[in-house]
Amino acid sequence: MTQLLKHYYLNRDNGKWATDTRFGLMMPKIEHLDVQYRLEDENNIPFMLSHVPENLEKQIRVTYLEYGQYATDEEDNELPLENQLELWLNANNIVGIETTRIEYDENILEPTGVPSGETRERVAFDVKYNEPYVVTESVGLTTLSQAQWDSEISTYDTRQQNSRYDILRVNRDKMLESTD
């Protein structure tokens, strides 16, 4: 799914939303912005209807240092690594959609911080998850429902059609005036 946005250009001079000018405009820097329509409001100020995703797919690596704090349960039983990872994910409000187990050797350090030459096996997990993409609304940027989106397009189409009719009326009136 995507979020539906109505937004204006930015004013090149002050960096604010250009809701009252047609000049000195630049595109806003919104991550993953997908412009669908470039329209004009009733004051002929350009604006856009765009999509942005509802969620972004992220990936993190969870190491023993993070999930290891959950190594035992209340009865002091050693928990499997996957259970420790699940507890860490829950504590951090992360719902994984894909998890990959990675085994590696970690150098053991002396108390002085120098490698001892020995290693121990460790396990890390690469976790893919979805994070909500939050758009902060302001004067020149709003999220729309599908009905509002459709209404914006319909209103623009009606204004354009009326503008074409106005031109035809002017030509018609000139032709009629010349015949009178």
Q: What are the residue ranges of helices labelled H in 48-145?
A: 64-67, 81-91
Structure tokens at 39: 């329209």
Place of tokens 């020149």: 140
What SS3 class is residue 71? coil
Q: Are residues 125 and 139 in the same domain?
A: no
Residue 1 has pLDDT above 90, yes or no: no
Q: What pLDDT, on a 0 to 100 scale, did the predictor assign at position 84?
A: 93
DSSP assignment of 9-22, as one string? PEETTT-SB-SS-S
- Residue 178 reports pLDDT greater than 90: no
Integer Rg of the chain from CA: 29
Reported as type and span, the H/E element at residue 56 is strand 55-62
User: Could you list the residue range(s) of the whole structural domain that residue 96 is in?
Assistant: 56-132
Give 27's contacts (C-beta < 8 A, 6+ positions apart): 9, 10
- Average pLDDT estimate for 6-10: 97
Same domain (yes/no): 61, 48: no
User: Residue 59: what pLDDT?
Assistant: 96
Summarised one tens digit per residue, pLDDT across range 91-136 is 999 988 899 999 999 888 888 888 888 999 999 999 999 999 999 9
User: Tokens 């100020």 correspond to what residue?
Assistant: 45
Q: At residue 140, does pLDDT exceed 90? A: yes
Domain shared by 105 and 139, yes or no? no
Residue 169 backbone phi and psi in degrees, to 5: -65, -40
For residues 75-83, give the mean pLDDT. 87
Is the pLDDT at 12 greater than 90? The verdict is: yes
Overall number of domains in the chain: 2
Q: Is the domain of 60 the same as that of 128? A: yes
Of 23, 7, 24, 13, the C-alpha closest to 136 is 7
Last residue of a domain, one of 99, 115, 132: 132
Q: Which residues lie below 8 Å from residue 159, measured CB to CB, with a gap of 6+?
A: 42
- Residues 65, 36, single domain; the answer is no
Using DSSP's 3-state secondary structure scheme, residue 41 falls into coil
Cβ density class 134-161: b for 16+ within 10 Å, e for less? ebeeeebbeeeeeeebeebeeebeeeee
Tell whether 27 and 116 lie within a shared domain. Answer: no
- For residue range 13-63, what is the model confidence (pLDDT) as tens digits? 999 999 999 999 999 999 999 999 999 999 999 999 999 999 999 999 999
Q: How far apart are CA 93 and CA 74, in angstroms?
A: 21
